[in-house]
Amino acid sequence: MRLDPSNPFAAPSALPYQLTPWADVRPEHYLPAADAGIDELLSSLQRLADDPEPPTIGNVIEAWESSSQLLGRVLGAFYTVQPADTTDELDAVETELSPKLARLSDAMYQNRALFERVGALDARVAAGELDATDADRYWIETHLRDFVRAGVSLPEADQARLRELNARLAELTSAFGRTALAGSNAAAVLVTDEAELAGASESTLAGARAAAEGRGLDGWLLELDSCTPQDVLTELDDPALRERVHLASVSRGWQGEHDTRELLVEIARLRAERASLLGYRHHAEYVAADACAKTSEAVREMLHRLVSPAVRNARAEASDLQQLQSEQLRPADWEYRAEQLKAQRYSFDTALLRPYLELERVLHEGVFAAATGLFGITFAERGDLAGYNDEVRVFEVFDADGTGLGLFLADYYTRAGKQGGAWMNNIVDQNHLLGQQPVVVNNLNIVKPPAGRPTLLSWGEVNTMFHEFGHALHGLLSDTRYPSQSGANTPRDFVEFPSQVNELWSFDPGLLRRYAVHHATGEPLPAAWIENLRAAEVFNQGWATTEILAASLLDQAWHSTPLADLPESADEVERFEAQALAAAGVDFPLAPTRYRSTYFKHIFEGGYAAAYYSYLWSEVLDADTSAWFLANGGLTRANGERYRRLLLARGGSIEAMDTFRDFRGADPDISHLLLRRGLAA
């Protein structure tokens, strides 16, 4: 298929660092470009498979990695804009594109001739006939594994069924994402009596008013976070409104036009069938085998080690919170009362932090300054370069020697077409083979204040900025030869590790003095508040650990239950969920699971199916690494260079845990995580 030369994806972008020319891109450009890219890739790989010459690094690995440039351009652009600024037109594109990409993956990895060509290269490398780097060997190893995991060795009838399953799953996960997003938008709580909003901060009120106006409503609209806990509950004095918000959150997806239950049941059942077809006991085993964990038993062992101390601490925390009210404590009260108790114990109200946490200062004197201190990199905003929305900002990143390193895009505000949560995407993957430098984007969901007013952050939003920029650094500081091994292209249970490490710097004393400054008076955050903030890090960690454990174990239940025991209809979902949480020992009603099944987009739309445990697995690595940084002087160029060279720069070019061991000189020690979360015996 020949692509119209006028299509903006037809040729590499002429903009700096091959930034997508967003001003020229319209929804109708994506599908033709994707179709042409798929045809180009399949033709190139078939020529590779049919090549009569003996296999070499150049005519196999380099040929493969060079063959998908058009498709890479269009997918990098589309999967950046679609979750961040979607429209009905883009949703329609995604509906059509998802099954096409599933069919592409099947066509590639069920191609027996292509598999044998890579296998022949492996044999030549093993025999010492070719010079191969560690990255070359790892590329061969992972691609051969991908072929097997895609069913290349299955009989044709089983391959045909596998293709049907993959196509249907692509359709279903896409539909789940769209339905869940629409359901979250529809579940926003409208308040028409300002008295009900007593206790809400000025920034919360302003954001809620703007959200209502944006939808043509009178009053204040409390939009929902993607997860069960809602930040606004820390502020609301009215117990009835707290209950309305909580119920709106946990009721998403259970009925009406935004009911996701039939979708998720079919997704879970088809994944179970696919795993069985490929020779695995269940989908969780299939996922773990390709991750750092290696086995689902290792996943369960790590999670269950945390259950008893987490729930024990959560129950003790509940007893303390109950003392603050005469009525029986409800889930809707927890965050509000916890904020009160924290204020009592640590002598300050975290709501008072907001005036000291202005977005621009946090970004430049905190997030960027930490990266400069560790790696010597600097940032300059490029007003001449545009993103996919007027709210997107573009920064050029320079290495310590002043050379251009890449681009960082920041998209921090919430809007109706944006999915909840926070994330990082690569638009262009760094690689030496094609001479490309990285272009990455961070997305958050901060409520935008009215024009002319500063954006004041919660402490949680500050941590999220540092976290997501840790992902961005993984992409920006990548130093790999092949695009597929660049940056954050690592196993799912490793990818969150660098982002979690980067949260450490939000507490760095030198940085706090720079970025935690009152936006109006210029006064620094009081030193006593900083000490109390540090001391409060273990506060409420029983509840926090229980709710993420519950989500992780619910994910494992959906993906490790035999097909015969999985729900067959929507009516069985609530029972299954309740039984799974009870069986795992995390059915503590006051700490509900971070995501209920019906809005658990990580596992029923995103790439975290049977892998939501990754956040805790990665935190084990993070806590160990953070302890190393603090024991060795903290935020220094020497520490940053070691971390960059031995871990970040290598991306996914070798086994992920080998990069960790090279950096730390040992396996991770879980005791650092237990200590951090106040769970140590």
Residue range 458-486, pLDDT digits in tens: 999 999 999 999 999 999 999 999 999 99
Closest by CA to 658, choosing from 438, 490, 433, 503, is 490
The last residue of a domain, from among 538, 560, 587: 538
Distance (Å, rounded) from C-alpha 108 to C-alpha 64?
11
Overall domain count for the chain: 4
Give the per-residue pLDDT at 450: 86
Does residue 228 belong to any structural domain of this protein? yes
Alpha carbon distances (Å) from 137 to 57, 61, 153: 10, 10, 22
Give the per-residue pLDDT at 534: 86
Does residue 622 belong to any structural domain of this protein? no
On whether both 309 and 365 belong to a single domain, the answer is no
Closest by CA to 349, choosing from 358, 338, 339, is 339
- Specify the residue for token string 């370069």: 385
On whether both 367 and 510 belong to a single domain, the answer is yes
Does residue 660 belong to any structural domain of this protein? no
Does residue 360 belong to any structural domain of this protein? yes
CB proximity list for 660: less than 8 A, separation 6 or greater: 494, 497, 621, 647, 668
On whether both 339 and 279 belong to a single domain, the answer is yes
Distance (Å, rounded) from C-alpha 423 to C-alpha 425?
7
- Specify the residue for token string 């926003």: 188
Distance (Å, rounded) from C-alpha 111 to C-alpha 47?
12
On whether both 382 and 521 belong to a single domain, the answer is yes
The last residue of a domain, from among 588, 612, 636: 612
DSSP character at residue 585: T
On whether both 93 and 192 belong to a single domain, the answer is no
CB 316 within 8 A of CB 543: no
On whether both 455 and 418 belong to a single domain, the answer is yes
Does residue 638 belong to any structural domain of this protein? no
Identify the CATH number of the domain in which residue 75 sits.
1.20.1050.40
The last residue of a domain, from among 124, 149, 174: 149
Does residue 629 belong to any structural domain of this protein? no
Give the per-residue pLDDT at 474: 98
pTM: 0.90
Question: Residue 53 — φ and ψ, nearest 5°?
Answer: -70, 150
On whether both 379 and 485 belong to a single domain, the answer is yes
CB 48 within 8 A of CB 117: yes
Question: Residue 428 — φ and ψ, nearest 5°?
Answer: -130, 125
CB proximity list for 543: less than 8 A, separation 6 or greater: 313, 314, 317, 318, 334, 338, 590, 591
On whether both 389 and 516 belong to a single domain, the answer is yes
Distance (Å, rounded) from C-alpha 116 to C-alpha 129?
17
On whether both 385 and 522 belong to a single domain, the answer is yes
Closest by CA to 607, choosing from 73, 38, 299, 177, is 177
Give the per-residue pLDDT at 268: 98
Distance (Å, rounded) from C-alpha 513 to C-alpha 522?
11
CB 506 within 8 A of CB 513: no
- CB atoms < 10 A from the CB of 114, how many? 22
* Residue ranges for the chain with pLDDT beneath 50: none
Question: Is the sign of the CA dihedral 248, 249, 251, 255 positive or negative?
Answer: positive
Hey, what are 154's tokens? 């299955």
The parent domain of residue 316 ranges over 257-346+540-612
Hey, what are 454's tokens? 């500063």
Reported residue count of the chain is 681
- CB atoms < 10 A from the CB of 362, how many? 26
On whether both 302 and 446 belong to a single domain, the answer is no
R_g of the chain computed on alpha carbons: 25
Give the per-residue pLDDT at 349: 77
Q: Is 402 exposed, middle or buried (0-12, 13-18, 19+ CB in 10 A)?
A: exposed
Residues 374, 377, 380, 382, Cα dihedral to 10°: -120
Give the per-residue pLDDT at 348: 74
CB 117 within 8 A of CB 124: no
Do β-strands 404-413 and 189-191 pair in parallel, antiparallel, or remain unpaired? unpaired
Identify the CATH number of the domain in which residue 587 sits.
1.10.1370.10
On whether both 78 and 193 belong to a single domain, the answer is no
Q: Three-class SS of residue 187? A: coil
On whether both 339 and 286 belong to a single domain, the answer is yes
Q: Which of 468, 496, 547, 605 is catalytic?
A: 468
Hey, what are 285's tokens? 């085993």
- E strands, 414-438, are 423-428
Identify the CATH number of the domain in which residue 358 sits.
1.10.1370.40
| 65 a catalytic residue | no
Give the per-residue pLDDT at 310: 97
Give the per-residue pLDDT at 68: 87
Helix pair 261-277, 541-560: axis angle to 10 deg:
60
Hey, what are 616's tokens? 């805790």
Does residue 171 belong to any structural domain of this protein? no
Amino acid 549 reads L
Does residue 666 belong to any structural domain of this protein? no
Amino acid 535 reads A
Q: Three-class SS of residue 436? A: strand
Residues pairing with 15 in the sheet: none
Q: Three-class SS of residue 409? A: strand
Question: Is the sign of the CA dihedral 95, 86, 441, 201 positive or negative?
Answer: negative
- CB atoms < 10 A from the CB of 209, how many? 18
- CB atoms < 10 A from the CB of 24, how many? 12
